[in-house]
Chain A
Amino acid sequence: MSDRITPEAVAKVAKLARLSLSDDELLHATHQLSDMLDHFADIDALDLDGVTPMTHPTPIANVMREDIEMDCLDRDEVLAAAPAAEDGRFRVPPIIGLDD
């Protein structure tokens, strides 16, 4: 396998993505991501100077509508589908006061 990506870099990516990996999973993921990045090196040699990046297939800019009142989702129905709710709001564990 190549060394296109290190276990340390994969660990950082997993942390950013809010995923926890065991030591075995970390090594396996490093191996697989390296293989993929090897394959994706086929575009390295292309001369892409001056090419405009294409983010989207259609030339759509901002889409506006009249500022008029419309129906929206029912609050109780939305909250009923949430893992936890209280007093008409989403309930979550403490955000501050604990380490990380």
Chain B
Amino acid sequence: MTDLTDSFPTTAIDIAWNVRNNIVRATEVVERHLAEIERREDDIHAFNLVLADEARERAAEIDDAVSVGRDVGPLAGVPIALKDNMCTRGIPTTCSSKILDGWRPPYDATVVTKLREAGAIVIGKTNLDEFAMGSSTENSAFGPTRNPHDTTRVPGGSSGGSAAAVAAGFAALSLGSDTGGSIRQPAALCGVVGVKPTYGAVSRYGLIAFASSLDQIGPFSTTVADASLLLESISGHDPLDSTSIRQGSLDITRQLDFGVAGLRVGRITDLPEGASSDVVERLEQAFDALRDAGAEIVDVEVPAFTYGLTAYYLIAPAEASSNLARYDGVRFGNRVEAPDTNAMYTATRTDGFGAEVKRRIMLGTYALSAGYYDAYYGRALKVRQRIADDFARAYERADVLLTPASPTVAFHLGDKTSDPMSMYLCDTYTIPSNLTGEPAMSVPFGTGDDGLPVGVQVLAPALQEAMMFRTAAVLEQRVPR
């Protein structure tokens, strides 16, 4: 373990160990992270809100508790950033939308409660594509986030602020939400670890809904072990979320160093094309690394993989059009006054939503409307089942699968904003796991064009997070230099 005499701890595991053992004070941990925010946040804009005073107060409480010998939790003193679509009681929660600007939720999301119980310190709320709709964090009502590796480039999205916050050292950990790749793609572009857990493994209570059958909260971190610790801390059954799986928290860390000897790692032979050559090269090296570590590489087919994008961009907007009907200027958020309620609804929504959110609401409303329901939404649901069936067959032959996380390294701001379809294609490799509800994670694996980070995606069957993390841990140890 790290101690003060060589260098200050930076990973969540090291910070918590040092704080719990009274070697490092939580207040100093917080001050160092706030200083880093002070130094670079103007260039990066990872946060919608930095909670400096609250973080300092919380750190002082933890230091006091340590000094009297109380157990302060597995994440004691660890600064964590929250995507700004997770409700924090009394603290503004905006979804990076004008329609919720200034809203203070009357309750905490379950993950926020769990983090507090684990001793973590919420240091800020991070920027996102409005209502998590986007792949670059450029669709924010409060301006884009920039990639810490190159501030002329995007951090990915929609959890771009959370990915950038960890990559820039503003927080040791962060939480994002992943509906079609919104954790894994920005993790890949920012060179950090990002995990979408099994659907239902982490409570969605207090996560502002985008597409309810696809949304899942998950961790960002700099190491695989940190992601494991965070995921264990936030997972487990929650009676406040009716889709929450009835089991305890995930058990991952104990198996983290079990290795991959004998593990069957699947290569999808009919994967959709579109990944750039630098990304493909790293993926091949990842297969080699796992083979060298004792894994067996097997070829599998997932023929319906290629239809994931279409199924997703019909299902997710359909669910969103229903979920976002609640923003009507009545119960929360902002209102544009008008003489009657119908005019008020329309004026409020027209003023409050950005272009991409409106586009998806209209697409979803269309896909669900009379005369088109069977042709679009109904068929998309059948394709979704076909994809799940294909993955189930693949997992008869393989324990985990490997694909790119993002087709390319980070692109420049503005590159894809005028053509929605080009932006949607960023999610080609991440979408299927949301449709099936299965876990997947992006782990940094070297660099590609222009020296920018490349992420390799590990996919696993439902609730097989431990196997997925074991694979990621081996890749982490064998990163190409």
Contact = CB atoms under 8 A, between A and B. Distances in A.
A48 B386 contact: yes
Contacts of A95: 340-341
A93 B339 contact: yes
Contact of A93 (B105, B337, B379): B337
A20 B350 contact: yes
A47 B31 CA distance: 60
Contact of A82 (B239, B243, B330): B330
Interface residues of B, number: 68
B435 to A, nearest CB: 8
A73 B106 CA distance: 7
B362 A51 contact: no
14 contacts: A19-B350, A29-B359, A35-B421, A42-B306, A57-B199, A57-B388, A57-B436, A58-B199, A73-B107, A83-B333, A83-B335, A90-B331, A93-B337, A93-B340
Given A36-B313, A53-B378, A98-B340, A78 B362 contact: no
B380 interface: yes
Interface SS majority for chain A = loop
Q: Give the one of B313, B349, B363 with max A CB within 10 A.
A: B363
Interface string B331-349: 1111101111111111101
Contacts of B362: 10, 13-14, 17, 19, 29, 33
A25 B382 CA distance: 33
B213 interface: yes
Given A19-B361, A43-B307, A95-B341, A53 B385 contact: yes
B383 A94 contact: no
B67 to A, nearest CB: 33
Contacts of A10: 362, 366
- Interface size class on chain A is 35 or more
Contact of B332 (A14, A20, A82): A82
B320 to A, nearest CB: 11
A46 B339 contact: no
Interface string A5-43: 100011011101111100000000100110110011011
A78 B330 CA distance: 12
Interface string A41-85: 011001010011111111010010100000001100110111110
A100 interface: yes
B84 to A, nearest CB: 16
Given A73-B107, A93-B344, 17 more contacts: A9-B366, A13-B369, A18-B328, A19-B346, A20-B347, A40-B310, A40-B313, A43-B307, A51-B382, A52-B382, A57-B436, A57-B462, A65-B239, A78-B106, A81-B105, A93-B340, A98-B339
B310 A100 contact: no
A43 B313 contact: no
